[in-house]
Amino acid sequence: MKNPLRKRLPREIRSEFGKYIVIFLLMVATIGFVSGFLVADNSMLIAYQDGFEKYNIEDGNFRTADRIYRSQREDIEKLGITLYENYYIEATLDNESTMRFFKNREEINKVCLMKGELPKAAGEIAIDRMYADNNQLAVGDTITSGEHSWKITGLVALSDYSCLFQNNSDSMFDAVKFGVGVVTPEEFDTLNQDKLQYNYSWKYEQEPADEVEEKEISEDLMEEIGKIVSLESFVPRYTNQAITFTGEDMGGDKAMMIMLLYIIMVIMAFVFGITISNTIRKEAAVIGTLRASGYTRRELISHYMTLPVLVTLAGALAGNVLGYTVLKNVCAAMYYGSYSLPTYETVWNAEAFLLTTVIPVLIMLVVNFCVLRHKLRLSPLKFLRRDLSGKKQKRAMRLSPHIKIFSRFRLRVIFQNMSNYLVLFIGILFANLLLMFGLLLPSVLSHYQTEIQKNMLANYQYMLQVPMGAMTGSKLEELLNLLTFYAEVRTDNETAEKFSAYALNTLPGKYKSEEVLLYGVEKDSKYVTADLGDGVYISSAYADKFRIRPGDTITLKEKYEKDEYSFTVDGIYEYTAGLCIFMSRDKLNEAFDLEDDYYSGYFSDTPITDIRKKYIGSVVDLDALTKISRQLDVSMGSMMGMVNGFAIMIYMVLIYLLSKIIIEKNAQSISMVKILGYTNWEISRLYILSTTIVVVICLLVSLPVERAVMEVLFREMMLSSISGWITMWVDPMIYVQMFGAGLVTYAVVALLEFRKIKKVPMDEALKNVE
Q: For binding to another protein (CB under 8 A), which residues are involved?
A: 1-5, 7-8, 11-12, 15, 283, 285-286, 288-297, 379-381, 384, 768, 770
Helix axes 680-721, 418-454, angle to 10 degrees: 50
**Residue 15 CB burial class (10 angstroms; 0-12, 13-18, ≥19):** exposed
Q: Which is nearer to another protein, 292 or 358 (CB)?
A: 292
Q: Which is nearer to another protein, 176 or 307 (CB)?
A: 307
End-to-end CA distance of the chain: 34
Strands 178-183 and 98-103: parallel
Least distance from C-beta 730 to another protein, angstroms? 49
Least distance from C-beta 388 to another protein, angstroms? 15
Nearest one of 160, 171, 169, 182 to 339, comparing CA atoms: 160
Least distance from C-beta 386 to another protein, angstroms? 10
Q: Which is nearer to another protein, 79 or 285 (CB)?
A: 285
Report the distance separating Cα 61 and Cα 38, nearest Å: 32
Least distance from C-beta 276 to another protein, angstroms? 16
Q: Which is nearer to another protein, 144 or 296 (CB)?
A: 296
Q: Are 94 and 128 in contact (CB under 8 A)?
A: no
Q: Which is nearer to another protein, 70 or 394 (CB)?
A: 394
Q: Which is nearer to another protein, 11 or 454 (CB)?
A: 11
Q: Which is nearer to another protein, 378 or 694 (CB)?
A: 378
The SS3 assignment for 231 reads strand
Q: Which is nearer to another protein, 289 or 446 (CB)?
A: 289
Q: Are 100 and 119 in contact (CB under 8 A)?
A: no
DSSP sequence for 368-412: HHHHHHHHTTS-HHHHHTT---SSPP-SPPP--TTS-HHHHHHHH
Q: Which is nearer to another protein, 60 or 288 (CB)?
A: 288
Amino acid letter, 232:
E
The residue length of the chain stands at 770
Least distance from C-beta 687 to another protein, angstroms? 24
Q: Which is nearer to another protein, 3 or 555 (CB)?
A: 3
Name the percent of the chain in helix, strand, coil, to the closest 5: 55, 15, 30
CA atoms within 13 A on the CB side of 313: 8
DSSP 507: P
Least distance from C-beta 384 to another protein, angstroms? 7
Element (H, E) at 346: none
Residues 6+ positions from 47 with CB-CB distance below 8 Å = 341, 342, 343, 344, 345
Q: Which is nearer to another protein, 167 or 296 (CB)?
A: 296
Q: Are 486 and 615 in contact (CB under 8 A)?
A: no
Least distance from C-beta 670 to another protein, angstroms? 19
Residues 6+ positions from 710 with CB-CB distance below 8 Å = 433, 436, 437, 440, 728, 730
Least distance from C-beta 278 to another protein, angstroms? 15
Least distance from C-beta 761 to another protein, angstroms? 12
In angstroms, what CA-CA distances link 333 with 325, 328, 344?
13, 8, 12
Q: Which is nearer to another protein, 297 or 408 (CB)?
A: 297
Report the distance separating Cα 730 and Cα 190, nearest Å: 51
Least distance from C-beta 380 to another protein, angstroms? 4
Annotate 51-94 with three-state secondary structure.
HHHHCCCCCEEEEECCCCCHHHHHHHHCCCEEEEECCEEEEECC
